[in-house]
Amino acid sequence: MCGLSSRCPSFCERARLGFLAGRRFYGRLDDRLRLCTGATPGLIRRQAAGAREPDGRTATLLAFVLAAFPAAIALALMNGIAPELAVVGGLLAFGVVFALNSAVHSYLILAYTDSDKVAMNVGFYYMANAMGRLAGTVLSGLLYQVGIQYGAKSGLVACLWMSAAFVLITGMISLLLPRNALPQTRPIALSDLGE
């Protein structure tokens, strides 16, 4: 989210919602997103034709859909829509698609990995995720500070456009993911654990 999690509370404070109200809002949003992430596997299977498992197409579609939300929030702010409405409404919608996207990525990491490389691939996934969050937080802080010089909303708008750009890049990279790949892992049997 290009560090939006660190920018949202400070934006809420500047939008006269107050620091604590901004933190409470973000905390509740985060809780709801975790619930949505947990419900994703069943939702994806029910919506897929023939109850197929998520694959590269699912990740690509969700990435392109996700990119529309930060762009829409930025456009709303640039066109004078009330910041409270644009940011809160936009983040709620963004959060649902983000949670779906996150759950699909977690599934695909396990589905595309070999049984004997699960720990390494999951570790790499979490390391890449952490590096992305760190880079996003630093970049969004810089963008926010530069943008705020041009107006109260400009810092957040810059972060939103950069977020949309990064998600679009992710969608283009996702085009390279395998389609209709069967899971590579096999269930762990008790005999695999040794004595």
Query: How many C-beta neighbours within 10 Å does residue 63 have?
Result: 22
For residue range 136-158, list pLDDT tens digits in order: 899 999 999 998 888 878 899 99
The whole-number pLDDT of residue 34 equals 66
Which range is least confidently modeled, 17-21, 67-71, 183-187? 183-187
Percentage with pLDDT > 70 across the chain: 66
- CA dist., res. 183 & res. 31, Å (int): 30
- CA dist., res. 75 & res. 67, Å (int): 13
For residue range 114-132, list pLDDT tens digits in order: 878 888 888 998 899 899 8
Tokens found for residue 143: 């963008």
Compute the chain's Rg from CA coordinates: 19
The whole-number pLDDT of residue 1 equals 42
- CA dist., res. 118 & res. 116, Å (int): 6
The whole-number pLDDT of residue 187 equals 52
**Exposed e or buried b per residue across 70-85, where buried means at least 16 C-beta atoms within 10 angstroms of its C-beta:** bbbbbbbbeeebebee
- CA dist., res. 159 & res. 174, Å (int): 22
Q: Is 1 exposed, middle or buried (0-12, 13-18, 19+ CB in 10 A)?
A: buried
Nearest to 3 by CA among 159, 147, 131: 159
Percentage with pLDDT > 90 across the chain: 27
Extents of the domains making up the chain: 4-185
Please name the residue ranges forming H helices in 1-152.
4-14, 19-47, 56-78, 83-112, 118-148
- CA dist., res. 135 & res. 122, Å (int): 20
The residue that leads in pLDDT, 149 or 186, is: 149
Task: Determine contact, residues 101/170, Cβ cutoff 8 Å.
Answer: no
> What is the pLDDT averaged over residues 101-112?
83
- CA dist., res. 142 & res. 27, Å (int): 24
Going by pLDDT thresholds of 50, 70 and 90, the confidence category of residue 16 is low
